[in-house]
Structure 1
């Protein structure tokens, strides 16, 4: 069958189905029409030849929700090879074959045996087969066809997302979109109007409207007020068939919450509040709390508080409690009952978050009056001024002089008399006195600014009839300076100059210190003291900046002639009165190299004076003087004793005898002692008669034994002559040392067990170096000359 015939059959089948639903055609008429639709119209006979034809259908339609007692005729399948003699058998297979759909094997009629629901299944796909009834051989190839379930309006609209909750701000304008609702219909939206839905409001239509096509809910009024009604319940209906009669409908509930805007100002419940506080309440003490209410909610109720009147703003402070939104009123400055007994404070409440859209609706602030009553208490005295007093007095003020007056009063209404005193812990030396009634401070001791320039005392004031009511204030007393100290050189200045110093050379710069502190500052004048004004060595140059320079006036200094110059300098201050003092600059003359660097000065004096203070130098000089006196005294005593001994023995020279106790190293050792005296032994002139010399004592036996031995006579002539000659030379020569410095030469003596260690052993007359006979002389050598002077005992080897 040609495609355009099949398309025409489909359109016809759909049309017949709609007419059946509307009751315009009966089922029998439809069945006849459908059966006829399965055949292709016979063409005009042009040839008597038989043409092979195939299946003549594509799809069938069946109306859903059929409620009849007989099976519902769906359609007919027919092969153009069927001659109507019953030789062809028709069968179907696929979805619902044999259960939902059955076929008449002979006629090919298909019926639906069950009630179909398009919302559950919209179409069924089946396959048809035409076979030879006798041989069961297929006469046509198996072909697939579709049975579509035709929709009827059997499903109402449903709101799948309900119930709905929306919100809109109060005072929103008309037409403000609130939310959107949506319903769905299970019917076929492509067939008829079964799924065409329209919306409407069943309840609350005065306040809100809904768009029929889109389901958008909008405000219908502009005076929504959250404070009057904060939510609305709407019933929205959805109807299919585009709202026509016979359409199905469904409904849902929509809750619309009215949100708050800051359209209400704060309001104080009272126009006046009253509190009481004691005048001695500390700063920061809370007086009370007030609160303003706000019909709004959330952050729109947040507010701040202000004090509007100037006086209340000086004495009180207001803050906001963030949790309770209360205004906390506290004391900002101390209160005074005697000054003012009550205060009216204007407190204003203001919203923090003001919506500019609603400013015109009214003022978003409110005010109330807080009356604060101050109660009286007994208070301690108050000093005037209250932060301390500074007084001044000259350091040369006399005892009892007035320094200043402190003042205090009783702040209470009774005005009790006040008594004053000085805290002794701040004036332990009792330098100041105070009159207990008048508060006059006077001097109790003489002042000295150089010792203490300031005095800080504490004055106490108490009520005369209540000692517990006391207060204190600090009094600072400045001691004004008077010029009572002369200026002085800053240090004991010392300077050094070279011997070849040139005229005009700067030696040293001096400065001055003054213990005074004049109001206009120090100004010092320098000049040489009168006793040094005519010196021709140095000049003084006043630099005019409280210092002075010392310069040389000539050249050619010689430290051999004078190595130290003392230059007195007169220093005068600017007064009044002008005071002066004289200081000394010590100038040392030193030897310098070609570059002017000092090489040497009077080292001992310079070092001692530089290293020691004047007191230490004086003490050192006193000690040296005492030592010199002691030495002179000892020497005088010794001379006195020597005089006594000389009266007994005029030739006693033992006091200051210089002894040589070094044994020496033999002939080669010529440095041990002076040999010149003995070397001139043979140069003496002829020895005089023994009567002309001093009486000689007998030579002891030990000397005789040492000189001549045990067997022969002793010959002492040479020794006597030697000693005598020496004495005569000493008496005749005025340049020789005095008798108490006479040089003697002692022999070792006989008591040494080691005998002599000298290499001079034999007496020789051929050489003046041969003095072997002297090696055995002992410490009693002086007895040979007739003088008795015991020698100190000598250890061997000394």
Structure 2
């Protein structure tokens, strides 16, 4: 969030941005929304911007229209003459938004003359370009022979990078006499397969079963992924492991070194011998979890495998399974919150810069630029300022955009150019800042008439001079 601050020192004029409460210029409150399928080729038509804005042919070019996006990444391009809005490159929804649905790319339309902003949204619609995939080719399930019919056994889920109806919709299991499959809908929107026991198992009759688990997405036709389920039937072990806590909650700063201890989970088992020997492992893990963390199978220590990045992932939910030597297991959840540190300096992106300003023109726009900081809290709050005692103003416009304009008419005869340093500082600890210097030249207008050095001149001429 942003607030306007009064100057704390005479040498700087500070202006801060308010992210959600901004002074909009004229049409700045207008918005346009478009939708397009992912994976369309570069140059594909999105919409006719001129028509949607109610502008005539050539008005976009006359007003110097530009498409602005956060940072320097541009997904759209504008044909000013035709008014057509086109894709600048092929867009991958999974790369840009991951699991987020809907996938919204924000942009702005800048009209330079006069300066106006129009908010824009491009919704990137999913296509079924990924099949479900299990992280393991074989799922090992150890079931004691004494379990009663009706007992359910959770299976590991398949990953599908698509969203909505294109992601995993159901699971099936190969035909057998002992189990049927039940698909459970969780609050997170994912579907989890569970094996349900139909009749009692007898290890002396059969020591193991091998079934095929199939995940199907909602495409037409559906894409599928399979994994083998190996069910090992073990002798009765009447005490399952028990965790000291069902939920472990820890906070880890994003600059924690690799190899650091995150948390130690602990379980006990009342059985003796191999039935009481425990091993720890991750359960229902994703690629993100196994890339970031590792667990000691004997001690239950969870340590970092790579540096965390708050700007990429803010939290992890890790399921840990404790298994004894007899095939029984219990699970707990480790909630890891990544704590932000001020590791990103503010960014300044110049959208419009006029290096020559005519004298005697009041409140002339010199530059339009955007500022951003991916950090959170005070680390992401930004102040923007220029040097004091300059005839220029910083004015917040739309969201995190600023306009630099003259405070009044300039006089070239008094001063012909100005060196202006724009300083963007965050409020983190320590404070990080970014500076950009620009030079503004004052161009001359004919505002001074010729002037004699004297009001009168006296000349003496000798008479009878030859012509």
TM-score band w.r.t. shorter chain: 0.3 to 0.5
Larger RCO, structure (CA 8 Å, separation 6 or more): 2
Q: Which has the larger radius of gyration?
A: 1
TM (norm. structure 2) is 0.38
- TM value normalised by structure 1: 0.23
More helix by share: 1
